[in-house]
Amino acid sequence: MTEIAEIYKSRLANLDGWRDIGVEPYANKVEVTHHAGDLQKKYADIEAGVETGDEVTVAGRIMSVRNSGMFIDLQDHTGKIQIFSHKQSLAPKYMDTLKLYDLGDIITVTGKVRRTPRNELTINSEHIQLLSKSLQPLPEKHHGMTDIELRYRKRHIDLTDNEISKDVFIKRSKIITAIRQTMLNEGFLEVETPMMHPIPGGAVAKPFVTHHLALDQQLYLRIAPELYLKRLIVGGISDKIFEIGRCFRNEGLSPKHNPEFTSIEAYQAHANYEDMMDLVEKTVQEAVRAVHDGSTKVTYKEKEIDFGGNWPRKSMTELVKEKTGIDFLKVTDPEDAIKKGREIGLDVPDGSNWGQVVEIAFDEKVEDTLVQPIHVTDLPMDISPLAKAKKDNPLLTERFESFVNGWEIANAFSELNDPFDQYRRFKAQAEQKDAGDDEAHHFDEDFIETLEFGMPPTGGLGIGLDRLVMLLTDSHNIRDVIAFPTMRPAAAASLVTRMDSES
RNA sequence: GAUCGCUUAGCUCAGCCGGUAGAGCAACUGACUUUUAAUCAGUAGGUCGAGGGUUCGAAUCCCUCAGCGAUCACCA
C-alpha cells in the first residue's frame, strides 16, 4: 500500500470519527465576524500578555499544529492567526475533538483575542468546529511546493501555501480594475463582442477551430476582437468603446505566449494614433500606480523601469538609423534594402519587401535596447495591413507600438476606414492564403460591407494584459500570471476515486 | 519544431566512479503541555517517470518514449 493511501485512510478514520459524534464533516455556512490579517493589524500595538476580552469568530485552514492541537495556526485569505485550545476556556466536548483535526482542515473558531507572553496574537478558543475535512496532504511546510509544473497544474495548492503566487493574482485583478476604471473615467463604454467567429480576423495568426452542431457550422475562436469593435464604431453606439477579454491563438507556447491570453482593445472615433499614445500612457500609468503604492517605478529583473511622464515617441526608421547608421527612408527599393540589411549582418530572406527589411532591422538591432517605455511610431505599410497610411509618406502608416523592457506591450493605429483599400488588402491576404500561408487573413466580405456604410476616422489600440502583469509583478513566465495556464493533460489522482475502485 | 537540462517516499531533497534505496517535513503509536519549523521515543511508507539494452548485478552506464523547464524560431 502506498503512503498516500495511508494518509488518506487515517484522515478518513477521522472523518468517520466526526460522524460518530454526530458532526457533519462538510458543514453549512457559519457567520464569520473577523479575518486573521485584519486582527493582526487591529491588535498590532497590544503588548505581550494582554488579554483583550474581545470575542471574535474566524474561519480558515489549519496550516500547522503544535503541542498536540493546543496551538493551531489558522490561515484565511487575509493572513494567519494562532488558535489556543485549553481546558480552561474550551469545553470538554470540544477538547475531545482536537485529535480529529488534520492539517488542511477548514475550521471555525470563536473566542477572545489575546497576545501571548511569547508575543503571538492568539484566539483562546471557546468554540471550535470543523467546516470541511481535508483528505489530501498539503505540501511540505518549510519549502512549500516548488515543482513548477505542479504549481501550474494544482493552482489551488499553490495558492494555499505560496504568498508570492497569491500576491500576483491579486495584483492582476487590481491592474485590470485600474485599466477598466481609467477607460470608464475617460468616457469609454465597455462592450462585449463574440468569441466565436465565422471568419477569424483582426490579426495575423492561426485560429482554433470548433463546430456548432445545430447550425452545422464551422466557427473559430477569436484571434482578436478588432473587426467587431469596428462594427460597433460604425454603428455609433459610442465614440469611445473598449473590451477586455480573451483571445485565442493556435500557436506555440513559450514563457511569453499562452494559447489564450487577455487583451484590452479600445477604439475611439474622431481620434488618431497620437490620441492612442496618450491613452496608453494614462491606462498603463494608472495600472502601475494601482500595484506600486502610487509610484510609477517598477523593478523587473533588477532593472528599474519608470512608466511616469510622457513616453518618448520615435519613428521606427529613425531608431533603426540610430543603431545601424542606415536611413531606410533613403533606401526604399526592396532589393537595395535587402542588400543594405545583409551588409550589416541581418538575416533577411529573399523576396522580402521594404517594410519587412525595416522590421527585421528593428527586431535584431533595436528592440532589446528599448528598456524604458517608448512609442515606436510610423511602422511600414508593408507590415501594417489594417492601418491608415501616413499623409506625407505612403510607405509608412499612422501606427505605433509601445515597448517596455524590449517587449511590445501595445499596438495601435489610425484605423483603415476605406472599403476599397480594405478590399484590396483582404484580396492580397486571400492570395497569400491560397499560396499556403495559413496565417493570412481570410477574405471577410461582411466586414467590407460594414465599412461601406462609413466608419469615421478612428484610433484603435490593443494592450497585451498578461505581459503588462508580468512587468508589474516581476514575473518571468506568462504562466506565473495566468491562474490556469494551458498544459498538456495529466492524470488526476483523486483518492476517493482510487479507494473506491480498489475496494 | 530544434538544442540542452530535469524526473528518487505525499512534499522538499540526498544518493549517480554499477554492488539489494536515505534524511527532514507530513503520517501513525506513545510521552509532554503556553508552543513559534514545539520537543522526545518509536513505527510505517519506494515499480528510483515509462519501456528496452549492456552487465553476474542498473536509481547510477547506453537507447527510445513521456511530462516539465530553459534557450531559439513563429507570435502578443
CA of A62 to C1' of B16 (A): 39
Do the beta carbons of residue A100 and residue A142 sit within 8 Å? Answer: no
Residue A447 has pLDDT above 80, yes or no: yes
Looking at residue A128, what is its pLDDT?
Answer: 95
Mean confidence (pLDDT) of chain A? 91
Looking at residue A494, what is its pLDDT?
Answer: 66
Looking at residue A411, what is its pLDDT?
Answer: 94
DSSP state of A387: B
DSSP state of A382: G
Strand B neighbours among A 423-482, CB < 7 A = 439, 464, 466-467, 476-479
Query: What ipTM goes with this model?
Result: 0.90
Distances from the Cα of A366 to the Cαs of A38, A376, A400, in angstroms? Answer: 49, 10, 15
pLDDT band at A3 (very low <50, low <70, confident <90, very high): low
Residue A502 has pLDDT above 50, yes or no: no
Instruction: Confirm whether any atom of chain B, the nucleic acid strand, is less than 7 Å from CB of A298.
Output: no
What confidence tens digit (pLDDT) does each residue in A232-244 have? 999 999 999 999 9
Residue A343 has pLDDT above 50, yes or no: yes
Strand B neighbours among A 183-242, CB < 7 A = 203-205
> What are the DSSP calls for A34-72, one per residue?
--HHHHHHHTTTPPTT-EEEEEEEEEEEEEEEEGGGTEE
Rounded to whole angstroms, the Cα distance separating A262 from A239 reads: 23
Do the beta carbons of residue A308 and residue A370 sit within 8 Å? Answer: no
pLDDT band at A496 (very low <50, low <70, confident <90, very high): low
Strand B neighbours among A 249-268, CB < 7 A = 249, 251-259, 261
Looking at residue A47, what is its pLDDT?
Answer: 92
Instruction: Confirm whether any atom of chain B, the nucleic acid strand, is less than 7 Å from CB of A68.
Output: yes
Residue A475 has pLDDT above 90, yes or no: yes
Strand B neighbours among A 303-342, CB < 7 A = none
Higher pLDDT pick, A125 / A502: A125
A116: nearest nucleotide, CA–C1' criterion: B34
A73: nearest nucleotide, CA–C1' criterion: B36
Rounded to whole angstroms, the Cα distance separating A344 from A324 reads: 8
Instruction: Confirm whether any atom of chain B, the nucleic acid strand, is less than 7 Å from CB of A92.
Output: no
Q: Which of A326-330, A383-387, A494-498 has the lowest mean pLDDT?
A: A494-498
pLDDT band at A264 (very low <50, low <70, confident <90, very high): very high
Q: Which of A86-90, A209-213, A383-387 has the lowest mean pLDDT?
A: A383-387
Residue A503 has pLDDT above 90, yes or no: no
CA of A73 to C1' of B62 (A): 51
A332 — phi, psi (to 5°)?
-100, -10
Instruction: Confirm whether any atom of chain B, the nucleic acid strand, is less than 7 Å from CB of A139.
Output: yes
pLDDT > 70: percent of chain A:
96
What confidence tens digit (pLDDT) does each residue in A396-406 have? 999 999 999 99
Q: For A3-41, b where at least 16 C-beta lie within 10 A, e where not — what string? A: eeeeebeebbebbeebeeeeeebebeeeebebbbeebee
Instruction: Confirm whether any atom of chain B, the nucleic acid strand, is less than 7 Å from CB of A82.
Output: yes
Across A242-268, average pLDDT: 93
Residue A319 has pLDDT above 50, yes or no: yes
What confidence tens digit (pLDDT) does each residue in A63-79 have? 999 999 999 999 999 99
DSSP state of A415: B
Element spanning A219, H or E: strand A217-221
Instruction: Confirm whether any atom of chain B, the nucleic acid strand, is less than 7 Å from CB of A286.
Output: no
Across A255-281, average pLDDT: 95
Q: Which of A23-27, A166-170, A423-427 has the lowest mean pLDDT?
A: A423-427
Instruction: Confirm whether any atom of chain B, the nucleic acid strand, is less than 7 Å from CB of A119.
Output: yes
Across A81-109, average pLDDT: 93
Which nucleotides in chain B lie less than 7 Å from some protein C-beta? Answer: 1, 9-13, 24-28, 31-39, 44-47, 66-76
Across A483-500, average pLDDT: 73
Residue nearest to nucleotide B39 (CA to C1'): A67
Q: Which residue is associated with the grid cell 528599448?
A: A370
Across A437-453, average pLDDT: 85
What confidence tens digit (pLDDT) does each residue in A380-395 have? 988 888 899 999 999 9
pLDDT band at A1 (very low <50, low <70, confident <90, very high): very low
What confidence tens digit (pLDDT) does each residue in A5-18 have? 788 888 989 999 99
Q: Which of A189-198, A382-391, A462-471 has the lowest mean pLDDT?
A: A382-391
Residue A175 has pLDDT above 90, yes or no: yes
Residue nearest to nucleotide B27 (CA to C1'): A7
Rounded to whole angstroms, the Cα distance separating A329 from A24 reads: 77
CA of A407 to C1' of B2 (A): 24
Rounded to whole angstroms, the Cα distance separating A398 from A401 reads: 11
Looking at residue A283, what is its pLDDT?
Answer: 97
